[in-house]
Structure 1
């Protein structure tokens, strides 16, 4: 069963057009291309992609190491710029979402 960070906060992803077919379909990590199994995958949630003729959905996944690294980087960047997080991180929905994403990636 894969770990899901998708309901917590969408992490920024590489541009879709830069991904391999395996990365785009979720069989390898979107960041480093490592092969994934249901036990090692972190679900990054449904994403929308605009295409000629409409929108389509895709479901990126990552390895735990990359998901944790990206969530930590996003948390550090956010908390350095968010006045609410400096005062009390428990009152910032985005900061809490990033903390949860870090925890989910560690599982």
Structure 2
């Protein structure tokens, strides 16, 4: 199934290193798939990241995963 603008949720921009330079990426997802994958990624990250398991604030990666998971779990605005 194609992801169209009506169903897509913006997960926030990301900087990604590619071929020796940094580029910006704008990931999107549908709500069910996005929440499933983001929640699993956040749990896996929190289990392996010392900063995220022991204190607040979480590391940058933990903060971004949490923010994206919260964004995708928000009710649809009409």
TM-score category by the smaller chain?
Answer: 0.5 to 0.7
- Asked if 1:82 is matched to 2:49, the reply is yes
2-structure distance, mates of 1:48, 1:91: 22
For 1:63, the equivalent position in structure 2 comes to 30
Alignment counterpart, residue 94 of structure 1, candidates 61, 66, 70: 61
Matches within 5 A, 1:5-44: 34-43=1-10
Q: Is the 8 A contact 1:41 1:63 kept in 2?
A: yes
DSSP 3-state at the match of 1:90: coil
Structure 1, unpaired ranges of 5+? 1-33, 51-57
Q: Is the 8 A contact 1:85 1:91 kept in 2?
A: yes
Over the aligned positions, Cα root-mean-square deviation in angstroms equals 2.8
For each residue in 1:55-74, what CA deviation from the matched residue of structure 2 results, as whole angstroms up to 9, or x when unmatched?
A: xxx86632110011111011
TM-score normalised by structure 1 residue count:
0.49
CA 1:48–1:66: 2 relative to 1, 3 Å: farther
DSSP 3-state at the match of 2:55: helix
